[in-house]
Amino acid sequence: MRTIVIDNFAEWRALARKLILDAVRPDEIQFADNNGQQTLFGQTINANDLDGASKSDSNTTTADQAKPLRVPREFLSLAETVGYHRSESRWNILYRTLWRIVNQTPQLLKITTDDDVLRLAKMEKEVRRDAHKMKAFVRFRKIIRDDEEYFIAWHRPDHNIVRKVAPFFSRRFKAMNWTILTPNESVVWDQQKLVYGDGVPRSEAPTGDELEDLWKTYYAHIFNPARIKIKMMKSEMPVRHWATLPETEIIADLLADAPRRVEKMIREHEGFAQTALNVIENRTELLQSLEELKQIAANCTACDLHTHATQTVFGEGPVDAKIVFVGEQPGDREDIEGHPFIGPAGQILNEAFAAAGIKRESVYVTNIVKHFKFTTSETGEPSTSGPAPRGKRRLYQRPNAREIRCCRPWFDAEWSFLTNANLLVCLGATAAKAIISPNFRITTSRGTIVESDYCPQTIATWHPSAILRTPDSTQRQTKMNQLISDLSLAKAKSDTSTSRLV
């Protein structure tokens, strides 16, 4: 048996493709991390030396080597995430799964009881959870060097996720010089590029500074006593991270003050007791499809909007769509019929699609908020459940920040299934602020390709309803032309983006 030493997912992906085309069976090969340790058995091969070693005992022709190897896109997404897991067995499980998909069971990932599929799903969940915790628990401390400010943080992740999460911090703290230290790997951002290096022990990280007092004040402000469950808090914020989290020093005082703050929250209605994420995470089985996610969303009661709307209006479109459109919320017609963008605004969008050369059936269309928010009179008379009573019109109301925050996990879950999407279009200011930045302005920044936390190619444009509400016909036509232009740009960018192949 040959052992191949590799460094990262990109290298494994290239090697796996070569080995599959060379018909190398999983029991003939094993992968090992390049950690400097020697293997006890078998022939050890460096990744750069694989060409001769893999082809020497193969009957594969040159034509076979050149042909593309297509596998389910969900496997590629799964494999990339699992590649950050700390278990050295991950590469071998991934290769064995890839071999079985290509040579035995193309629909293997749908067999959720399969041992390999179960193990990969567990690894993926562990990596995603660890990445989420790194984003939540990293705390920068300021140091002054040569009269310049630098920010340093130390974090101990469970998995090798520094390279997965570092781009997030480079976007979030773009104008800062910062360093994140971990035991296995570290990363430096100089406001231009990310540079990776060796890990360091906790002792080499700075301790306190004046930023800690600011963070404690912020944490005390966002602390939600109505949702405190000590056991769950320790699960979500493991005690081993507490040494680097300044807010843990004030948790005892905050808990003591919790009853008074709960009473105040009830009185002032500051927030909802749960979000859509609670509804999703209450499931014990792993979600398998968008359709399954849609069925769960149909019963969402996380915020108050469900009490007045007729039904949840979920996204629609092919799971392999390359372009995803996200608006604000369904309207009156959408709420009654249960489909997004089928009312007057939907007709405008369809016209723009046609003018831009986009087939609606080829794209995925959804909203950040899944229930219709409305009043039944110009004076703001409270909503009534379902369609408006006789003689009354249901008038649109903009969802507030609490409602958007509560419903947003549904879109997060949708996006996780849309693995073929290479471009995200925000229709209107509400979607753009939720997806791109709270400071985004449609009037000044629409029509520009930017990078968001969801997609490297994200663009914002007018919501079709904004065109309908424009009274001046000249201005209305100008906005329509801009919408068509933005959609044409989105289509061109999406068409020129390469498909993901193994």
R_g over Cα of the chain? 26
Q: What pLDDT score was predicted for residue 31?
A: 92
pLDDT band for position 166 (50/70/90)?
very high
- Higher pLDDT among residues 55 and 76, named by residue: 76
233 has a pLDDT exceeding 80: no
In this predicted structure, the answer to whether residue 344 has a pLDDT above a threshold of 70 is yes
Calculate mean pLDDT across residues 469-495: 95
* Higher pLDDT pick, 177 / 240: 177
CA distance 458 to 432: 9
Mean pLDDT of all residues in 376-401: 64
pLDDT confidence of residue 433: 94
Span 45-49, mean pLDDT? Answer: 57
What's the average model confidence in pLDDT over 359-379? 88
Q: What is the mean pLDDT of the chain?
A: 81
Q: Compute the distance between CA of residue 83 and CA of residue 162 in angstroms, rounded to an integer.
A: 12
In tens, the pLDDT along 70-105 reads 788 889 999 999 999 999 899 999 999 999 999 999
Interior angle at CA 103, CA 97 and CA 106, nearest 5? 70
Q: Alpha-carbon dihedral of residues 133, 136, 138, 141, nearest 10 degrees?
A: -170
CB atoms within 10 A of CB 407: 27
The pLDDT value given to residue 279: 81
Residue 479's nearest CA partner among 460, 466, 492 is 466
To which CATH superfamily is domain 276-496 assigned?
A: Uracil-DNA glycosylase-like domain (3.40.470.10)
Contact indicator for 430, 404 with CB cutoff of 8 Å:
yes
Q: What tokens does 360 get?
A: 């609606």
440-449: long-range contacts, CB 8 A cutoff, minimum separation 24: 446/482, 446/486, 447/482, 447/485, 447/486, 447/489, 449/489, 449/493
pLDDT score for 1: 75
Domain chopping of the chain, boundaries: 2-125, 138-204, 214-268, 276-496
Q: Please state the rounded mean pLDDT for residues 273-301.
A: 80
Q: What is the pLDDT of residue 256?
A: 62
User: pLDDT tier at 323 (50, 70, 90 boundaries)?
Assistant: very high
Q: What's the DSSP call for residue 358?
A: -
Q: In what order do the strands lie in the sheet with 43-46?
A: 29-33, 2-6, 43-46
pLDDT at 150 over 70: yes
Distance in angstroms (rounded) separating the CA atoms of residues 476 and 347? 15
pLDDT at 320: 92
Nearest to 460 by CA among 487, 488, 499: 487
Lowest mean pLDDT among 133-137, 223-227, 248-252: 223-227
**Residue 419 pLDDT:** 87
Q: What is the pLDDT of residue 326?
A: 98
